[in-house]
């Protein structure tokens, strides 16, 4: 009998898993922050770049340049410091988990989010950039919600990547390994033309509404394990979709073709297509590429539609038409199909 027990992960593997989990959490943190900015129309926080600038000065390496050049550097340093904090906390939590510090999903998400919040707020307070004692309720809520989202996603990703003694756990997305049969497991079949086409359609839908790339397979694949997490994953996908449907119709929402809009659409198009292939026990590489290409096409086509229709009808009406089109494409792509 072949054992399914996995050997403990190497120290390098622990750090890589923690870094990947922290990066996933940081992506969600940024998405929640941008969503809050779009909904409330508020300006971005200057605390990260001010903290990075103050730290550089404290270390005797002040930011070089003047005027716009220096402002651009400080803005970049602020963004990079956020990624460094997110990845660093992910590594720290991963090391603690490898050492035996394991918490339930809910508690682990809250603790991880609190650690990330402390990693950014306490240095800013210590450097005199902000005074936490003067923060009001709105300030704490605006800071806590994105970090809570970070904690939930980071901890969930660590759990999904964690080798569990006695049984094998499937990674969230492992395109090469899903195409190679493990010992004792049936080889995935070649992706059919129909699956590739539906993957492209799902990508087009994700180009219109990025949340549909993951929400479609999660909500329409009950019992098929297309995505890990079961009902909680489906619930989070539904909440993300609802938030995007609202934020899309606000006047201050950034362009989907910008740096904060296009990459999530490409990612969810590819990951959602890989989930469809995994659900049908097919190889994932070709469907994922089709989903990526469809997401790029859908993003540019959706932006062109909104620009054209916005000159003829109210933008909300054009957005609702796009909502319906993206939903129909998702239904065609993600509803379970019989296999020949």
Show the DSSP H helices in the chain as ranges: 11-40, 47-58, 67-98, 105-126, 137-161, 175-178, 193-208, 212-219, 230-247, 262-279, 285-309, 315-334
CA distance 278 to 284: 7
CA distance 171 to 325: 32
The pLDDT of residue 137 is: 82
> Which residues share a beta bridge with 189?
282
Question: Which of 257-271, 309-323, 326-340 has the weakest average pLDDT?
Answer: 326-340
- 8 Å CB contact between 171 and 160: yes
Closest to 242 in 3D by CA, of 302, 313, 327, 321: 327
* 179-202 pLDDT per residue, tens: 444 444 566 788 888 889 999 999
* 233-242 pLDDT per residue, tens: 666 767 777 8
> Which residues share a beta bridge with 282?
189
* 276-310 pLDDT per residue, tens: 888 888 888 888 899 999 999 999 999 899 889 88
Angle at which helices 315-334 and 212-219 cross, to 10°: 40
Give the model's confidence band at 221: pLDDT under 50 very low, under 70 low, under 90 confident, else very high.
low
CA distance 138 to 141: 5
Mean pLDDT of 2-14: 56
Percent over 90 (pLDDT), the chain: 10
């Amino acid at each position: 009998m072949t054992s399914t027990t996995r050997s403990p992960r190497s120290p390098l593997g622990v750090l890589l898993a923690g870094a990947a989990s922290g990066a996933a959490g940081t992506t969600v943190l940024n998405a929640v922050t941008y969503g809050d900015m779009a909904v409330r129309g508020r300006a971005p926080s200057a605390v990260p770049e001010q903290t990075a600038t103050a730290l550089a000065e404290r270390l005797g390496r002040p930011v070089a340049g003047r005027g716009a050049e220096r402002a651009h550097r400080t803005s970049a340093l602020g963004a990079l410091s956020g990624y460094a904090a997110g990845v660093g906390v992910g590594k720290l939590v991963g090391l603690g988990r490898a050492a035996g510090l394991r918490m339930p999903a809910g508690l682990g998400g809250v603790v991880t989010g609190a650690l990330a919040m402390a990693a950014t707020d306490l240095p800013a307070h210590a450097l005199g950039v902000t005074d936490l004692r003067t923060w009001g309720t709105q300030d704490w809520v605006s800071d806590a919600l994105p970090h809570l989202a970070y904690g939930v996603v980071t901890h969930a990703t660590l759990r999904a990547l964690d080798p569990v003694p006695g049984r094998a756990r499937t990674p969230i997305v492992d395109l090469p390994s899903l195409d190679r049969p493990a010992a004792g497991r049936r080889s995935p079949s070649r992706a059919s033309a129909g699956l590739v086409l539906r993957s492209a359609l799902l990508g087009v839908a994700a180009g219109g509404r990025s949340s549909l790339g993951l929400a479609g397979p999660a909500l329409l694949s009950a019992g098929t394990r297309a995505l890990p997490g079961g009902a909680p994953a489906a619930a989070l996908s539904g909440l993300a979709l609802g938030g995007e449907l609202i934020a899309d119709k606000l006047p201050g929402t950034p362009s989907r073709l910008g740096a904060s809009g296009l990459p999530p659409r490409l990612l969810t198009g590819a990951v959602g297509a890989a989930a469809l292939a995994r659900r049908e026990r097919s190889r994932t590489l070709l469907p994922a590429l089709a989903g990526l290409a469809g997401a790029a096409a859908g993003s540019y086509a959706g932006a062109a539609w909104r620009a054209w229709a916005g000159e003829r009808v109210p933008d909300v009406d054009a957005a609702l038409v796009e909502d319906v089109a993206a939903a129909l494409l998702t239904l065609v792509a993600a509803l379970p199909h019989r296999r020949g």
